[in-house]
């Protein structure tokens, strides 16, 4: 069960967020704000308390709070993002994290280690960590070391194609995993009950489980059908403006 969610209002500089898909165009800021408000409403429907942080114009991608911290049931890890324009972004979340955790329950990934929360997938007390262009070997080593100190475990998953681990694989509890692309065949995930997302809907694989409801992105009918068939309540949120800068449902919040 999650009790708390942290989100950050998108800033106007969102239009300059990092993107691998410039052909999708720039986000429309007003539309992004409306979508963000709908996202927050959906989260509230799942029974969580939402902490909304102020927009941070200095960091175009700062609404993607998932990347700057990983929150476990034992403590929070402040990350060290591999993307240069995001590297100092975690400083902006520390004060908020401190309202939830004492200093001995807050750990930090330090250079030369890099890690972004989008590369971390929590399955109970185990954390899969994608080794990506943003998260390096040293970052993963530090992360797993911190987890061990808290009685939790972690393991590395190499990525070849996608930005972050959760771009292509997401755990929705009850042993169910949504998988797309390179994650469909990965041996690490062989024992899960897999919902295979077709290539044409791969963006839709980034769903979030929040207290027995799965929030999914608008416009991915086979994902919707499969998640409903698996027995979940579903809420749909349009994330079209975030998709333009490689963002999705999981990146927009910290859930704990």
Interface mask toward ligand CIR for 10-29; x: CB under 6 A: -------xx-----------
Least spacing, CB of residue 60 vs ligand CIR, in Å: 8
Q: Which is nearer to ligand CIR, 149 or 158 (CB)?
A: 158
Check binding of 247 to ligand CIR (CB under 6 A).
Answer: yes
Check binding of 245 to ligand CIR (CB under 6 A).
Answer: yes
Single out the residue of 66, 89, 156, 241 in contact with ligand CIR (rule: CB under 6 A): 66
User: Can you tell me the distance from the alpha carbon of 163 to that of 134, in angstroms, rounded to the nearest whole number?
Assistant: 8
Identify whether 135 is preceded by a cis peptide bond (ω within 30 of 0): no
| Six token digits for residue 184 | 């469909």
Query: Which listed range, 36-44, 46-54, 62-70, 71-79, lies at the site for ligand CIR (CB under 6 A)?
Result: 62-70
Check binding of 156 to ligand CIR (CB under 6 A).
Answer: no
Check binding of 118 to ligand CIR (CB under 6 A).
Answer: yes
User: Can you tell me the distance from the alpha carbon of 76 to that of 180, in angstroms, rounded to the nearest whole number?
Assistant: 28
Q: Report the interface residues with ligand CIR, using CB under 6 A.
A: 17-18, 61, 64, 66-67, 83, 86, 118, 163-164, 166-167, 245-247, 250-251
């Amino acid at each position: 069960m999650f009790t708390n969610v942290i989100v950050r209002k998108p800033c106007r500089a969102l239009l300059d967020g990092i993107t691998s898909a410039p052909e999708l165009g720039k986000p429309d800021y007003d539309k992004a704000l409306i979508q963000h408000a709908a996202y927050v409403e959906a989260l509230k429907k799942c029974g969580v308390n939402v902490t909304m942080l102020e927009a941070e114009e200095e960091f175009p991608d700062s609404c993607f709070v998932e990347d700057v911290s990983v929150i476990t049931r034992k403590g929070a890890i402040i990350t060290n993002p591999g993307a240069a324009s995001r590297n100092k972004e975690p400083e902006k979340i520390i004060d908020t994290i401190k309202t939830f955790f004492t200093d001995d329950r807050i750990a930090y990934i330090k250079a030369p280690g890099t890690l972004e929360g989008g590369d971390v997938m929590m399955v109970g007390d185990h954390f899969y960590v994608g080794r990506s262009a943003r998260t390096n070997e040293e970052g993963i080593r530090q992360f797993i070391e911190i987890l061990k100190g808290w009685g939790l475990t972690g393991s590395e998953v190499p990525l070849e194609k996608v930005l972050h681990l959760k771009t292509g694989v997401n755990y929705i509890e009850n042993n169910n995993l949504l998988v797309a692309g390179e994650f469909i065949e990965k041996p690490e995930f062989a024992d899960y009950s897999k919902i295979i997302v077709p290539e044409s809907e791969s963006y839709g694989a980034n769903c979030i489980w929040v207290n027995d409801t799965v929030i999914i992105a608008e416009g991915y009918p086979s994902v919707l059908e499969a998640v409903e068939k698996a027995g979940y309540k579903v809420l749909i949120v349009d994330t079209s403006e975030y998709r333009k800068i490689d963002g999705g449902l999981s990146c927009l919040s910290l859930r704990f």
